[in-house]
Structure 1
Amino acid sequence: MPLTGSIRSIEPALGSNETNPIQRHTEADLLRLLTDLRRARALLAKYKAQVHELRCELRAREQLSGQDSATQEAIQGITHDLANMIETIGTAAVMISGDTSQSTPLQQSMEAAIDQTDSLLEALRQASSSNSLLPLEAVDAGNIIEEVIQSAMLSVHAPGIRVNVQTEHLPKILCHAPSFNRCLHNLIWNAVQAMPTTGRLDITGWQKGNEIFIEVSDTGPGIPADMKTKVFSARFTTKRGHQGLGLYVVRSLVKRMGGQIAVSSQPGQGAVFSLIFPIAKVEPIRQGVKKHNLMEAK
């Protein structure tokens, strides 16, 4: 499984010092942009091939006895998220090539997606080699939420959805930053997919005692009562063409970080997913999972 490269190598090509995205592009600028896009697309093709190769290997492993199912599930979840990020980067590349006046903001979103893809690749390497504990640290949840919103390119993929974020002045939480990033990304896309044309996505954070609550809510059709106990199950999905791994990945990662996740919903009134993490102490470096007494989704 030759997952040794890093797509950060295309960052210098995608970077831009322009402050005004709407300006005249010289012939040299357009030629350089075209060259950069060709390199980016070649790199995307390479990673798509690696994801395909990994999935084929996983299918082969599943046919053998004695394999570590937890490791298989972790790798499957990572490849699920990685495929989504590759699609996001590819969309940005196509749009830049079609409208150079939007190149600067799209490049910024693409770079944010590249950062997240690099984190996923590192998680994939770790999951392929071992099932080690997640290192927990003090993390600024507000900053990660901002990064995820930018990398998701919601203005491109979901222009009819209004996004409202209220997470100011939150204490740092104790978690694993890359995994927390993945959780938010999956929850946000789950909400967006529940609102195919228009709607509102709310991300709200607040403190209660020694814990921080992060809620991701949508104005979609909601979750039927008989399905709420199944939404975190592997391979469960009501969406055609989807793998049913997104929410399963979120719940697994949250538990490994010592947090909790819950869902509430009424048919026709949207859904609310709540993440609960402890506030980080002054010396927050540790590994492992901490148990909490609050009720979590089963």
Structure 2
Amino acid sequence: MVDDNAAFLDNLQELLGDAGYEVRGASSCRSAREHAKDGFDVALVDLRLPDGDGTALAAELKNGSPDSEVVLLTGFATLETAVAAVRAGACAYLMKPCAPQELLLTLEQAMRQVRLHGEKRELARRAQMTEKLAAVGTMTAGLSHEIRNPLNAAALQLSVLERRVRKLPDVQQGPLLEPLLLVRDEIRRLDHILEDFLQFARPREFRPGSVDVRELVRRVVDLLSGQAEARRVALEKAPREEPLPPVAGEEERLRQVLINLCLNALEATPAGGKVTVSAGHEGGRVWLTVDDAGPGVPPEVRDRIFEPFFTTKAQGSGLGLSIVHAIVTQHGGTLEVGTAPGGGARFILQLPVATGEPVAVRRA
């Protein structure tokens, strides 16, 4: 809200605040530019400001935030100012003083436009992801056998070679085993990458059942405790007194999701840090969070972190989190990334509670 009339600004801030809007006030173009850096949905801008023209400011704000909307306010409406408002990209033009209902209606229309911008952006992102998925499917179908066969042959010959080397005297084994084991690990890594491609391109049929979330968390934490200890990172499940209902899904695939999220958290957390897995439920959904003590996920990366082939790691296919996101979506759930209380990354998984049968509740 940009207006140099302090009384008018206070009145509108109170009115819009009571209507549920979060309002930031500015009395000049300079102040408005500073507020705009933090982002906004709708800007209400007076035409006459002490340090500039409201129409020029409206165009500047619109150019800086194309998905946001601008509403111009004026007490001196003319045909010229109306035309200038349209050219500046304003979605509406109100006369001061305006009736509260007219202002609220105009704001709701502007917010509807903002939501439409967001939906269009999401549709464009999904279309781009669909194209990538199609490319993965085509490539995988043609290359899977061509790659898997020599990988299997190489792994077999390495196993034979390893058995022969281990029959040698201990003093001779060391220099031979070190490069051999390195090659074996690299073959395994290639095999895992190929498996990611296959799974992402050809997802299995979904057959949901009832999954005990408490047991799921316990198994994953127990399974990864050795890797956490090797990294000198504490992997813990947060204590919980309230009961948790089962979720609808496939236990094996949800375990894969949680393992992937925990492994990423362990990799991001420095020695001496802690990774915490928490669970709870609200309404008809159960939530799981994985918090790490790493550097966190930068805001500019969060919108892309689930895209196929996108990765911030030096190695990897960039499909791990994409597969996780696809599994969660297939389960009717959501997966988001945020900031953990300690400043690291927090992945928030939400899944629907199992329905169609009596809900057996156990204490976690």
TM-score, normalisation: structure 1: 0.50
CA distance in 2, matches of 1:128, 1:207: 29
Q: Which of 189, 196, 211 is equivalent to 2:270?
A: 196
Alignment of 1:236-251 (within 5 A): 236-251=310-325
Contact 1:222 1:265 (C-alpha < 8 Å) held by counterparts = yes
- Corresponding residue SS for 1:135: coil
- Corresponding residue SS for 1:144: helix
Deviations 1:64-121 (A, max 9, x none): x99835976xx9xxx9xxxxxxxxxxxxxxxxxxxxxxxxxxxxxxxxxxxxxxxx9x
Match for residue 208 of structure 2? 136
Pair 129,277 (structure 1): closer, same or farther in 2 beyond 3 Å: closer
What value does the CA root-mean-square deviation take over the aligned residues?
Answer: 3.4
Pair 127,160 (structure 1): closer, same or farther in 2 beyond 3 Å: closer
CA shift, 1:263, in A, is 1.0
Match for residue 294 of structure 2? 220
Contact 1:221 1:268 (C-alpha < 8 Å) held by counterparts = no
The question of 1:187 aligning with 2:261 is answered yes
Q: Which of 334, 338, 351 is equivalent to 1:277?
A: 351
- Corresponding residue SS for 1:252: helix
Match for residue 218 of structure 2? 146
Show structure 2 runs of 5+ residues with no match: 1-133, 149-191, 359-364
CA shift, 1:223, in A, is 1.1
Paired residues, number: 172
CA shift, 1:265, in A, is 2.5
CA shift, 1:222, in A, is 0.9
Match for residue 27 of structure 1? none
- Corresponding residue SS for 2:276: strand
Contact 1:166 1:203 (C-alpha < 8 Å) held by counterparts = no
- Corresponding residue SS for 2:286: strand
CA shift, 1:260, in A, is 0.9
Contact 1:260 1:276 (C-alpha < 8 Å) held by counterparts = yes
Match for residue 337 of structure 2? 263
CA shift, 1:278, in A, is 1.0
Show structure 1 runs of 5+ residues with no match: 1-64, 80-119, 285-298
CA shift, 1:225, in A, is 1.2
Which residue identity does 2:238 align to in structure 1? Answer: V
Which residue identity does 1:150 align to in structure 2? Answer: D
Percent identity (aligned) = 27
Between stretches 146-155 and 271-280, larger displacement belongs to: 146-155
CA distance in 1, matches of 2:338, 2:136: 35
- Corresponding residue SS for 2:281: strand
- Corresponding residue SS for 1:166: coil
Contact 1:138 1:175 (C-alpha < 8 Å) held by counterparts = yes
Match for residue 234 of structure 2? 161
CA distance in 2, matches of 1:198, 1:214: 23
Match for residue 59 of structure 1? none
Contact 2:265 2:294 (C-alpha < 8 Å) held by counterparts = yes
Pair 157,69 (structure 1): closer, same or farther in 2 beyond 3 Å: farther
CA distance in 2, matches of 1:144, 1:266: 22
CA distance in 2, matches of 1:212, 1:256: 16
Pair 268,223 (structure 1): closer, same or farther in 2 beyond 3 Å: farther
CA distance in 1, matches of 2:135, 2:312: 31
CA distance in 1, matches of 2:297, 2:253: 25
TM-score, normalisation: structure 2: 0.42
Pair 154,138 (structure 1): closer, same or farther in 2 beyond 3 Å: same
CA shift, 1:233, in A, is 1.4
- Corresponding residue SS for 2:237: strand
Deviations 1:21-69 (A, max 9, x none): xxxxxxxxxxxxxxxxxxxxxxxxxxxxxxxxxxxxxxxxxxxx99835
Which residue identity does 2:289 align to in structure 1? Answer: E
Match for residue 108 of structure 1? none
- Corresponding residue SS for 2:349: strand
CA distance in 2, matches of 1:194, 1:231: 15
Contact 1:191 1:217 (C-alpha < 8 Å) held by counterparts = yes
Query: Considering only CA atoms, is the larger Rg found in Structure 1 or Structure 2?
Result: 2
Pair 142,68 (structure 1): closer, same or farther in 2 beyond 3 Å: same
Match for residue 231 of structure 1? 305
Pair 234,175 (structure 1): closer, same or farther in 2 beyond 3 Å: same
Which residue identity does 1:156 align to in structure 2? Answer: E
Match for residue 68 of structure 1? 137
